[in-house]
Structure 1
Amino acid sequence: MDQCMKCPEDHYANAEQNHCLYKDVTFLAFDDPLGMTLSCMALCFSAFTVLVLGIFVKHQNTPIVKANNLTLSYILLISLIFCFLCSLLFIGHPNSVTCILQQITYGVSFTVAISTVLAKTITVVLAFKVTTPGRRMKWLLVSGAPTYLIPICTTIQIILCAIWLGTSPPSVDIDAHSEHGHIIIVCNKGSVTAFYSVLGYLGSLALGSFTVAFLPRNLPDTFNEAKFLTFSMLLFCSVWVTFLPVYHSTKGKVMVAVEVFSILASSAGLLGCIFVPKCYIILLRQERNSLQKLREKTFSTTHMS
């Protein structure tokens, strides 16, 4: 008691408080069961997305693939591959490079994906408006104007990310006090305002896509992709609305795991809602993937409406 000494930052006192022990360094590692599970999920989902992309390339001349805008489908699938793979940046020992890359990569990748969904939604609406008498929107559809939304929306997100990096970029944060006997290494978001600006921008794009997709839900079912786009955006918004309170109520590697799971769940929602039904028809219900069948169904649905 006469010679009391405080342990260094990277040590903690033992139960008898007469010796200092090294603190365990904690982060979401690849060899950790949680990190291994999430990384396997990311690789499996990305491989499945590549498989879906291959199916669309192989069957690109079939009616159901042509009816869903082949170019936008390719862009969305490629962006989803990046969305799945960017979650791997959150796993492993954090450093300055990965802390910056993980935020910028998922922000830009999701912006491309959501803006592509918005472009697909607007294309579906315009496709039906063009066939309506008295409408003069054909030039919008023929010129591919909705496709320009993708570079415009992505550029805005890149500007937001550049401001984030210029003001207060993400960095490595070492927390030696939250958990006894552990040193938690995570990535600090840097500017909280910039972080929520990036998320808020993604949320506004998703809400806009959901609103536009919800309006034409009563159009004929055959060429109407709006219902699948609506479900995908509803799932996307639900995941990230749930993410915010859970994210703030956790710490350490669990907090990182929640963010990774949100990325995987929202990306899988887009992939499952938009592309799985089409792959089901292409591979298992080939009789429905014919121009004559599509025309018959569209005519009967329109007549009943």
Structure 2
Amino acid sequence: MVNLLLNENMKIYCRLRTWMFVIGLVLTAIGFLVAQQYSVKPFQVANANWTVNMQKQILNDKQMLANMDRGADWRTHVTNRINVNQYHLDHQIPPTEDTLWGNVLQAADLMIVVTVLTVIIAGDSVAGEFTDGTIKLLLIRPVSRSKILLSKYVSALMFSFLLFIVLFVSAFLVSGIMHGFHNLGAPYVYASSDGIVHETNIVQHSIVTYLYQAVQMIMVVTLAFMISVLTRSSSISIALSVGIMFAGTSIVGFLAQFNWAKYYLFENTDLTQYLTGSPNVHGMTLPFSVTVIIVYFILFNALAWTVFKKKDVTA
């Protein structure tokens, strides 16, 4: 099994494409964070005026609540923002977005880039072997098909976690250069769905946010791997996986109004919804989402294993 893993990793890392992905991810993280810094606050100098800015934001939000009515969800969102900003002022806690960890949290959005890059590797893992005809060279070895498939799947996941670490480290270093490495222990302040303001450790919150984001990455990669087994075309498996991911996540907000949507995969893969106690669908809980994810995970892998063990490779 170890030799199979080494062989699959060699196939991944000996290709120029892989290292272009790694370098591209680092450059994307740098560009994203620099753009965020200068597009959101182009004229603000350091954090000297954050209290004035926050007071203005609270005043504007209160005026909006008094003069506009866009529904209960909007009013709850604005009210929570007022409560959080007031908590920052009362306890003299700098806003999260003005700290190193604030930028690191923003860079978590780039986990979708990590997912797409890994999908390309996973989608090509099995289907590429059939396309090139090299699958026969693997199957003549004195090892079971299950071990061959497992080595490919584990190698794809290992690559995804390499990109995961590259993104986190890049975001941390770039954010530190832009904001400085002070305020590392500043707390993270948020309002839960009941409107109560909470304070938590921002380092822990950032790490958990990335780990929760990785759950969706693992599920999409597993889906891509399954499609790669079901088809003989790398391009089809990659296109289908990426298409399902974007289409699936884009309708999450729309489906949230239906109670049955809690069984929909992409309503559950974003576990960050539980960090602030605001699930997408009323009644959803973290254990429930984890259970749904495990069921889909087993289903995807069982289908991939069953098909691969019976797949005809003589054509």
Same fold by TM (over 0.5)?
no
Larger Rg: 1
The TM-score with structure 2 as length reference comes to 0.29
Higher fraction of helix: 2
The TM-score with structure 1 as length reference comes to 0.30
